[in-house]
Structure 1
């Protein structure tokens, strides 16, 4: 066996998904014995068989990637419970293995994946989806770029054809539950070192967060970064429509039309809402000038 063949063999065996009991599988997908494969290139010692030695690396690899995902979704963990959450993450990673040089991206597809896997959400699928979307929005808001915002003088030249961009870190969410309350409650109760999956060989016991009761309610959130901290800001439906339209590339005039489509507002009410939205967004530096391609 050449060095390259050994590396590929080891990589395949270490990255093979664990069993539902978080142990190394005894057979491969094509029915081969994992113990026989391990004996082909790993020496046993006086305490551990070849299988046992390989299992240590197999389990530690998966514990690390499970933990990397769990660190980004502590509120989902708290709502579903550790056992159900660990099963969810293991199933997700089986279908979405690491494909990047950084563990940061491991959870990027979890909200989309969860949409079609209600079997993991214990009858609270919409709630779980909202939490997953918000927790990933937190990651994006924390990591994404910030570019120079529009200044006061720029606004004077705007018209209906003007195209504004929004800060790359700004995430807009339309939610069915006020899950910002849940996420904030979990973050208050859970220190950074405690935000991890319980799918480890020695499970650490942590106190459960006192979670608020959730009642179905339409909530619109702007998740953004300000002074290197991430904040959740509730906005009204009109502001959400306006900002979402701008984010999708609409002109300022089209975005304003979309904001009030189907609503019954006087011209004075519309003007007041527009002024409020623009004042808050400009103060927080959300607007940027779209540069031509």
Structure 2
């Protein structure tokens, strides 16, 4: 078999593994030898079932709370359709679910309606939250950097790399954590929440944020220093800078709490 023949066979194999109804399956006899007990099509079907079983298992592991919320059967149906339209293009299954939240958002039946179904919105947001949480573990983080302390001047504070912010219409964190505790939570009511996910020493923490905290952290992620982020927060929320600064500097405030979770590292100047 030449390199060209191998490339063509691999392309054909990927196509028929992804789409079992494809007419190319009928050409299996020209690609795969029959055994003493099975036809080429039957042998190919074994690979197809095994391939999708492995991918579905991976999807359930990446989206455990969404799988619980939808039920395994419906989750598998959504995942299969997603995988057919978005076949894996990476040598690792790590990226398998990277486009799943956007796929769910783009395929929701009410996407063109002015009134959105709450449960669909919750499912899309839950998928988004779980994907953010999943990728955070392997992203570049603060390992090897100098952690900031209470003694670090504000001008030397910067956000560490392994941080993700999210604003959701439903309490996705509470639902996710209940599922992980093997409880049986009901679908939650509308309740907007802002969250920060941060990894410290390869442990991920999820912190609830007020609107002011969220605006402040967004400003710092955009490149502002602490002073600029405080001013931006005060202006954005129509608060006095004195009040915002006082809240930031309070010994029991978020500054020291976030420091304990490794949110900041020292900026080298």
Q: Which residue of 2 aligns with 1:12?
A: 12
Q: Which residue of 2 aligns with 1:103?
A: 93
Distance 1:69 1:53, change over 3 A: same
Give 5+ residue unaligned stretches, structure 1.
29-33, 190-208
Give 5+ residue unaligned stretches, structure 2.
none
Distance 1:113 1:166, change over 3 A: farther
Question: Which residue among 177, 181, 189 is the counterpart of 2:174?
Answer: 181
Q: Which is helix-richer, 1 or 2? A: 2
Q: Which residue of 1 aligns with 2:23?
A: 27
Question: Which residue among 243, 259, 265 is the counterpart of 1:269?
Answer: 243
What are the equivalent positions in structure 2 for 1:78-117 lying under 5 Å apart?
A: 78-117=68-107
Tell me if 1:144 matches 2:139: yes
- Deviation of 1:53 after TM superposition, in Å, equals 0.6
Tell me if 1:156 matches 2:149: no
- Deviation of 1:234 after TM superposition, in Å, equals 0.7
SS of equivalent residue, structure 1 residue 116: helix
TM-score (norm. length: structure 2): 0.83
Q: Distance in 1 between matches of 2:165 and 2:225?
A: 18
Greater relative contact order (Cα < 8 A, sep 6+):
1
- Deviation of 1:216 after TM superposition, in Å, equals 0.9
Q: Distance in 2 between matches of 1:249 and 1:114?
A: 32
How many residues matched? 259
Tell me if 1:235 matches 2:209: yes
Q: Which residue of 1 aligns with 2:199?
A: 225
Q: Which residue of 1 aligns with 2:233?
A: 259
- Deviation of 1:157 after TM superposition, in Å, equals 6.6
Q: Which residue of 2 aligns with 1:197?
A: none
Distance 1:4 1:66, change over 3 A: farther
Distance 1:16 1:66, change over 3 A: farther
